[in-house]
Amino acid sequence: MESDDAVATLTIDDPARLNAMGRTFWPEVREALARLESDGRTRALIVTGAGEKAFSAGGDIASFASLTDTAAKREFQRDCMRTFAAVEESPLPVIAAVNGYAMGGGCELALACDIVIAADTATFGMPETAVGLVPGFGVLRAPSAIGRHWTKLLMFTGERVDAATALRIGLAQKVVPAASLMDTARELAAAIAAKAPLAIAAGKGLVNRGVDRGEFDHSTAALTALHATDDAAEGIAAFVGKRAPTFEGR
């Protein structure tokens, strides 16, 4: 994490694995947010990915295989939801600077942020159904950003959209050349940071006033149930084994 005056930058730093979100990612993000919110100096936050290929390719699918009992699966889903909620509900304005792949949890993290700036090389997608799951936060928030039908298309098919399409459907608010992504994000963050912080926090809260945290319980329950299916086990095993899955609907 870096800080420059009133603007902080949080970088997902595992480029060798396309910045996949491992088990420690979720509490680390919440802890970083809590520090920034209480330091009395930070007024805007940029979230981005290390390297040039990915913002984040999403959750570490291989680590899901280690969750063997229902309680662990449920707690993992809650951990993810707590982190998305911490970003969404932070009094700080949070800008996603999407520098490449934003897949699965990476796309969901972008949805949790307040503004999405995408490099012209960025790619977005929610491919979880390929491993027998669904994007638990994405299915709740994407409809308000891109509409129900686009959400269903991306979720049902796993189809990826490029930066231009993301801008057109509302998944991104700005698209810029990859080389100028971080400069653009910093300029925007600095402009926001110059505004009255209490007004920014209040405005964010008012815009988000319709957000229903109770939905998280339903999503967590649905994902926990899906995670326990034979199809999810097959999907995860197929992903790890780099083969096509065979789903049987059980």
Catalytic residues, by residue number, are 108, 128
The per-residue DSSP string of the chain comes to: -EEETTEEEEEE--GGGTT-B-TTHHHHHHHHHHHHHHSSS--EEEEEESTTTEEE--B-HHHHTT--SHHHHHHHHHHHHHHHHHHHH-SS-EEEEE-SEEETHHHHHHHHSSEEEEETT-EEE--GGGGT---TTHHHHHHHHH-HHHHHHHHHH---EEHHHHHHHTS-SEEE-GGGHHHHHHHHHHHHHTS-HHHHHHHHHHHGGG--THHHHHHHHHHHHHHTSHHHHHHHHHHHHTS-------
Report the C-alpha gap between 250 and 235 in whole angstroms. Answer: 12
